[in-house]
Chain A
Amino acid sequence: DVKVTQSSRYLVKRTGEKVFLECVQDMDHENMFWYRQDPGLGLRLIYFSYDVKMKEKGDIPEGYSVSREKKERFSLILESASTNQTSMYLCASSYLAGGAGELFFGEGSRLTVL
């Protein structure tokens, strides 16, 4: 069964802390994505990657960075967490580029920044 695993389901951090959200997929997919989901705003794309060590900014990259050192792993980094980054973070992967194929999602990481 195909799987996208996000390491933490729930995190509570303090303002100014550095936060790492890890995502691993076991499908050998080239493409990986990080979204945040907020009530009334839907899903917004933060960063995506089409290959190892490659990254592209999405619609809301400010305050975030990413790392893709291995094909199966895509990490989202909040260098200095702020309260407005309290949200649900969803990782996804796909076999085909961009929107040409199905996105497989992890279960999400709910981050609260105090």
Chain B
Amino acid sequence: GEDVEQSLFLSVREGDSSVINCTYTDSSSTYLYWYKQEPGAGLQLLTYIFSNMDMKQDQRLTVLLNKKDKHLSLRIADTQTGDSAIYFCAESSTGYSTLTFGKGTMLLVSP
């Protein structure tokens, strides 16, 4: 079945850039998502990218997609302590398929 892999932990200093990486195995993936989970809360959609795109920018967030290598990354510029959270990569293909989530990357931002 489909698999989504991401590193479990990342630690950065406030003001630095953070890069969270994700790889997936399903070559028919059409939608790729980044969700954020703050402590004690559910997940919220942060951003998404369609498989026919290779980059998407949204304020401090940049998503890069390398479809050939099935590699997705999320870059957070000028990381703030409020960005400390768990970030989940997820993918799905078209139709009635459900999302496949990675295990989540815990981002810790220190002052």
* Chain A residues at the B interface, C-beta cutoff of 8 Å: 4, 33, 40-43, 45, 48, 50, 58, 90, 92, 97-100, 102-103, 105-108
Q: Chain B residues near A108: list those with CB within 8 A.
A: 40-42
Contact across chains for B98 and A4 when beta carbons are under 8 A apart: no
Specify which of B30, B97, B101 lies most central, judged by the most chain A CB atoms within 10 Å of its CB: B101
Q: How many residues of B contact A (CB 8 A)?
A: 27
Q: State the CA gap A41–B6 with chains docked (Å).
A: 11
Contact across chains for A99 and B92 when beta carbons are under 8 A apart: yes
Chain B interface secondary structure, helix, strand, loop or mixed?
A: loop
Q: State the CA gap A105–B102 with chains docked (Å).
A: 16
Q: Chain A residues near B44: list those with CB within 8 A.
A: 105
* Chain B residues at the A interface, C-beta cutoff of 8 Å: 8, 30-31, 33, 35, 40-45, 48, 88, 90-99, 101-104
Contact across chains for B31 and A99 when beta carbons are under 8 A apart: yes
Which listed residue (A50, A99, A107) contacts B42, Cβ 8 A?
A: A107
Give 13 A-B pairs besides A43-B43, A58-B98, A106-B42 with Cβ atoms closer than 8 angstroms.
A4-B42, A42-B103, A42-B104, A43-B101, A45-B98, A97-B95, A98-B95, A99-B98, A103-B43, A103-B45, A107-B40, A108-B40, A108-B41
Q: State the CA gap A45–B99 with chains docked (Å).
A: 9
Q: State the CA gap A21–B48 with chains docked (Å).
A: 30
